[in-house]
Structure 1
């Protein structure tokens, strides 16, 4: 009689295809997880497939510069609408100071997440000083270190409004031609995306 079949002596052949199938599944899962990160890194590094249109209306800074890099020493743990005046605070500067205050008010329930400030290299006129004390009680005031400001390529010579994050990083910059509605939309978008400040 032929040799009896031993139930413990099973062939290994069915396990090999299962192992191969398991390896392919693992590779596919890893590619789904790691692939998008690699693609995003390459897109950033080589600037391909980057959309031309942006949702912001100011000039994006995004290079790690802080308030100190434009000559402003300030401690603020909220988002800040900072107006810089490297020369006298004339009509454009005053318009941006007014806009910064209106933007903070326009944030509604998020108004406490932001502040508005003026950093000037020169003292403001006596008339404007009186107006600021009467109409801008929450306006923060800082000196602007002109040599530091002039060394910074991102800082033009006229009045500018900067959005500064709660860590003191410069995020966006606007000149006096900006429309308040556009700037408010940018600021709301930043606050919506951010969980800081």
Structure 2
């Protein structure tokens, strides 16, 4: 009798184990779905410091062609400055410092200064990894002009462009060095393109 009782409890134990194994994924899926749709445990704050664009803009909105500006298909930082004065040149130097501070991600980024000011070609030699493109601001698309705030006159904005030519993010002059560096490291870490 003891042997029959032991074999019956062993069978029940095996059935319970099998049931646990089969129900665990189902319980996890139901619980995660319930948490997702309830909004519970979802953080309210955002982790990025720059301004996200939804839907994204494209290089075409800046009057640029991807193949001309970025044939290597790297990430681009496009600094816009209608008149490249002392503040603009200071921002160029700051963007170079941020690029160097990226460490292992530095080769994945190319910087572009988009300006109406001519005679700045020597900046490319002074700041490796940067090119200067002369373009009038009138070449910006209407969608760009409508969606980008004008309170800073669009001066020294930094537009982040992915290797496919999309502009998902931009920084204003109010974003400091650490904020830009943190956002860019996170973006490049998570990105599988470029």
Q: Which runs of 5+ in 1 are unaligned?
A: 1-17
Which residue does the alignment assign to 1:167? 164
Which residue does the alignment assign to 1:58? 50
Deviations 1:80-113 (A, max 9, x none): 111122x212244333322222222111122111
Q: TM-score, normalised by structure 1?
A: 0.67
Which residue does the alignment assign to 1:136? 127
Measure the CA separation in 1 of the matches of 2:100 and 2:93. 11
Q: Secondary structure of the residue that 2:110 maps to in structure 1?
A: strand
Q: What is the aligned residue count?
A: 171
Measure the CA separation in 2 of the matches of 1:118 and 1:131. 12
Given that 2:121 and 2:132 are in contact with CA atoms closer than 8 Å, whether structure 1 keeps it comes out as: no
Q: Secondary structure of the residue that 2:56 maps to in structure 1?
A: coil
Measure the CA separation in 2 of the matches of 1:35 and 1:175. 41
Residue 78 of structure 1 is aligned with which of 53, 74, 77?
74
- Quote the offset at 1:74 in angstroms: 2.9
Measure the CA separation in 2 of the matches of 1:138 and 1:166. 15
Which residue does the alignment assign to 2:6? none
Measure the CA separation in 2 of the matches of 1:167 and 1:59. 19
Q: Secondary structure of the residue that 1:161 maps to in structure 2?
A: strand
Q: Secondary structure of the residue that 2:94 maps to in structure 1?
A: helix
Q: Secondary structure of the residue that 1:61 maps to in structure 2?
A: strand
Deviations 1:53-78 (A, max 9, x none): 22211111141321212333233311
Given that 2:79 and 2:158 are in contact with CA atoms closer than 8 Å, whether structure 1 keeps it comes out as: yes
Runs (4+) off by over 3 Å? 25-43, 48-52
Measure the CA separation in 1 of the matches of 2:25 and 2:121. 66
Change (3 A) 1:192 1:134: closer
Measure the CA separation in 2 of the matches of 1:181 and 1:172. 16
Q: TM-score, normalised by structure 2?
A: 0.68
Deviations 1:115-138 (A, max 9, x none): 111122x1x254xx2651441243
**What pairs with 1:1-197 in structure 2 (closer than 5 Å)?**
29=25, 32-33=28-29, 36=32, 51-75=43-67, 76=70, 77-85=73-81, 87-120=82-115, 122=116, 124=117, 126=119, 129=120, 131-142=122-133, 143=135, 146-149=138-141, 151-152=143-144, 153-156=146-149, 157-159=153-155, 160-197=157-194
- Give 1 or 2 for the bigger CA radius of gyration: 1
